[in-house]
Amino acid sequence: MRDTSINMRNSNHSPKTRQIGVLLFPEFSNYGLANAVEPLRAANTLARQKLYEWQFLGINEGTITSSSGLPVTPSGTLTDHPGGDLLLVMPSYDYKGLTTPTVLRALRSAQKRFAQMAGLDTGSWLMAAAGLLEGQRATIHWDELVAFSEQFPEINVVEDRYISQGPMLSCGGASTSIELMLDLIGQHHGTMLRLEVAALFMHGERKPSDVTPLRMGDDQVVQAAVSIMRRTLETPLPIDAIAKRLGFGLRALEKHFASSAGRSPRSVYVSLRLGAARHLTEQTTLSVSEIATRCGYEDPSAMTRAFRREFGITPRDIRKNLT
């Protein structure tokens, strides 16, 4: 995948704001909702642009209360919504009881107005009951995989944590919602933004001693390496030292980064350090010299030059614009 996140930072062009509908049902999971929406909020914050806009929807009007008592007042009903880029379907624990003619009719109608639909946790059951997954790959909460495949034999049910390709998406539980959303952020806006959002929630963080190289995919290796990078921003490590900590050779680590991120480990490390520098520039009153030290630069001028290449502006100019 070509990484577009750096280009987005430097460009005056604003990417289109993707419109997301979040369809809630009574006794929805707070955990699932947060894992679906907070990555979008974080992407907006880190990109300093409104990449995503979302609205909470219901089948009917009125407040919807979660399983733990959190009330949410939707902005409208699914039937009245004009549609958008993605509809997230978040049913309650009583998902089988929700397969009413009204719900299924609303989902079938929504499929014509949204470019993609995603069944979160047990949301795939509702989409399948509406006839939207025939011939598609889909997953569901793993407690329901067998029943799901038996009830809907026309669907290619898989034990994947999430499905992120095609018009019909799905994930296997509340905790995997964040993985699906991170994947979509990476598809839309590049690997660096995905990694930065994941790091913000410490998603994929692990101690080097917990890493088992032979059991890790490309994304897991990159996230483990990024975890080390984020802990050593002030005193950057040689890339081969990071590889050694993870049980890899340098070339093997570079191949994992090329496959997952489309970039070298060194360029990702530099972007992480400069991202931290921008955060300190905007959120603190530290001098540029102190910021450079905290981000692994002995020479403030060298950091300023790298900063300009990365963001198209200097730290001092950013602070002038903030005043």
Residue 199 lies in a domain: no
pLDDT at 8: 47
pLDDT at 219: 84
pLDDT at 218: 86
Greater pLDDT, 53 or 46: 53
Does the structure show a pLDDT above 90 at 217? no
pLDDT at 322: 84
Same domain, 85 and 212: no
pLDDT digits (tens, 9 = 90+) for 256-311: 999 988 999 999 999 999 999 999 999 999 999 999 999 999 999 999 999 999 99
Same domain, 155 and 234: no
pLDDT digits (tens, 9 = 90+) for 126-146: 999 999 999 999 999 989 999
pLDDT at 13: 57
* Tokens describing residue 300: 């403030």
Instruction: For residues 117 and 20, give the distance between their C-alpha atoms in angstroms, rounded to a whole number.
Output: 10
pLDDT at 3: 40
Does the structure show a pLDDT above 50 at 12? no
pLDDT digits (tens, 9 = 90+) for 66-125: 999 999 999 999 999 999 999 999 997 889 999 999 999 999 999 999 999 999 999 999
pLDDT digits (tens, 9 = 90+) for 206-215: 555 555 555 6
8: phi > 0 → left, psi -120 to 50 → alpha, else beta; which? alpha
Residue 10 lies in a domain: yes
* Tokens describing residue 206: 């692990």
* 229 half-sphere exposure, CB direction, 13 A CA radius: 25
How many residues are given for the chain?
323
pLDDT at 140: 95
Residue 193 lies in a domain: no
* Tokens describing residue 48: 């300093």
Same domain, 183 and 271: no
Same domain, 316 and 241: no
Instruction: For residues 234 and 28, give the distance between their C-alpha atoms in angstroms, rounded to a whole number.
Output: 42
Same domain, 148 and 166: yes
pLDDT at 208: 52
Same domain, 284 and 257: no
pLDDT at 184: 97
Same domain, 182 and 290: no
Same domain, 112 and 54: yes
pLDDT at 6: 41
116 forms beta bridges with 86
pLDDT at 207: 56
pLDDT digits (tens, 9 = 90+) for 239-262: 999 999 998 999 999 999 999 889
Neighbours of 281 (CB within 10 A): 23
User: What dihedral do alpha carbons 233, 237, 240, 244 form, nearest 10°?
Assistant: -90
Same domain, 17 and 163: yes
* Tokens describing residue 195: 């990694």
Instruction: Among 246, 263, 280, identify where a domain stops.
Output: 263
Same domain, 161 and 64: yes
Residue 192 lies in a domain: no
Q: Which pLDDT band holds residue 64 (cuts at 50, 70, 90)?
A: very high
- The CATH number of residue 272's host domain is 1.10.10.60
- Choose among 258, 215, 221: nearest CA to 242: 221
* HEC readout, the chain: CCCCHHHHHHCCCCCCCEEEEEEECCCCCHHHHHHHHHHHHHHHHHHCCCCEEEEEEECCCCCEECCCCCEECCCEECCCCCCEEEEEEECCCCHHHHCCHHHHHHHHHHHCCEEEEEECCCHHHHHHHCCCCCCCEECCCHHHHHHHHHHCCCCEECCCCEECCCCEEEECCHHHHHHHHHHHHHHHHCHHHHHHHHHHCCCCCCCHHHCCHHHCCHHHHHHHHHHHHHHCCCCCCCHHHHHHHCCCCHHHHHHHHHHHCCCCHHHHHHHHHHHHHHHHHHHCCCCHHHHHHHCCCCCHHHHHHHHHHHHCCCHHHHHHHHC
pLDDT at 70: 94
User: CB neighbours of 27 closer than 8 A, spacing ≥ 6?
Assistant: 65, 66, 67, 92, 93, 94
Same domain, 40 and 176: yes
Q: Domain of residue 127: give its range.
A: 5-187
User: CB neighbours of 76 closer than 8 A, spacing ≥ 6?
Assistant: 55, 57, 58, 61
pLDDT digits (tens, 9 = 90+) for 174-202: 889 999 999 999 999 998 899 889 888 87
162 forms beta bridges with 171
Report how many domains make up the chain.
3
